[in-house]
Amino acid sequence: MATVVFNANTQTIDFQVAIFERIAVALEKDGYAVIPNALPETISNSLLDYIAYADAQAHFHPAAVGRGTETIHSQFIRRDNISWIAEEEPYSKLWLDWSTELQRYLNRRLFLGLFSFESHIAHYQPGDFYKTHVDAFKGESNRVLSLVSYLNRGWEPDQGGELVIYAPNSNQELLRVTPNFGTLVIFLSEEFPHQVRTANRDRFSVAGWFRVNGSNTVQVDPPR
């Protein structure tokens, strides 16, 4: 049944390229994309395994806000717990390989010069939120592209936890994303303010950032 295996692989690759191309087209046109069922289920499932592992290792810790030496923990800004995804950890490979492929595709297609990637799992418990923020400030950071995907099956409308994305430099709401399993959101990090509305049940997301190389003669930029 060699042909069947070959076809299955081809379909998987075709599917991935189709999603990557949709992302490229939307980024070029709008600067953001929201695509349901975009993250392959095998990857989402391995991230669920990663969560169980990180939880067992007590890796989750309260998320901080701010940059560099100015990071603080503020219960008024965000209340989620996070666990950074390290390459050497189990269950991280499928996700990191996929993001590397996306990085290569977008660099070829849009000449973005994406250089490195960092990502974490976030756990919002009932009552948790993340107030309106941008992931990077113009001229102060080399995060250029933000990526979020969701790991929650059967999210109901009354469970809150939507990601709200606003138009650049305004408070005009562009869209509300239900944090459903497999949905992928990607946007230019400096352009789009966004917030996570209070979740009424446990809510898991994976968030990642592609950076351009910020190295200069004074300081070498570490991946994170």
The whole-angstrom separation of Cα 128 and Cα 97 is 30
CB closer to Mn ion out of 80 and 135: 135
Amino acid at 218: V
**Structure token pair of residue 148:** 């979020």
Q: What minimum distance in Å lies between the beta carbon of 102 and Mn ion?
A: 18
What residue 122 binds from ligand OGA, Mn ion, none (CB within 5 to 8 A, per partner kind)?
Answer: ligand OGA
What residue 204 binds from Mn ion, ligand OGA, none (CB within 5 to 8 A, per partner kind)?
Answer: none
Tell me which residues touch ligand OGA (CB under 6 A).
122, 130, 135, 148, 163, 194, 196, 205, 207
How far the first Cα of the chain sits from its last, in Å, is 45
The whole-angstrom separation of Cα 208 and Cα 102 is 12
How, if at all, do strands 173-177 and 32-35 pair? unpaired
CB closer to ligand OGA out of 114 and 148: 148
Q: What minimum distance in Å lies between the beta carbon of 5 and ligand OGA?
A: 36
Whether 78 contacts 130, CB under 8 Å = yes
What residue 24 binds from Mn ion, ligand OGA, none (CB within 5 to 8 A, per partner kind)?
Answer: none
CB closer to ligand OGA out of 39 and 196: 196
What residue 199 binds from ligand OGA, Mn ion, none (CB within 5 to 8 A, per partner kind)?
Answer: none
Q: What minimum distance in Å lies between the beta carbon of 4 and ligand OGA?
A: 38
What residue 165 binds from Mn ion, ligand OGA, none (CB within 5 to 8 A, per partner kind)?
Answer: none
Tell me which residues touch Mn ion (CB under 5 A).
135
CB closer to ligand OGA out of 98 and 209: 209
CB closer to Mn ion out of 47 and 122: 122
Whether 52 contacts 89, CB under 8 Å = no
Whether 33 contacts 22, CB under 8 Å = yes
What residue 205 binds from ligand OGA, Mn ion, none (CB within 5 to 8 A, per partner kind)?
Answer: ligand OGA
The whole-angstrom separation of Cα 128 and Cα 196 is 9
Determine whether 11 is exposed, middle or buried from the number of CB atoms within 10 Å of its CB (0-12, 13-18, 19+): exposed
Q: What minimum distance in Å lies between the beta carbon of 37 and ligand OGA?
A: 17
Count CB atoms within 10 A of the CB of residue 21. 12
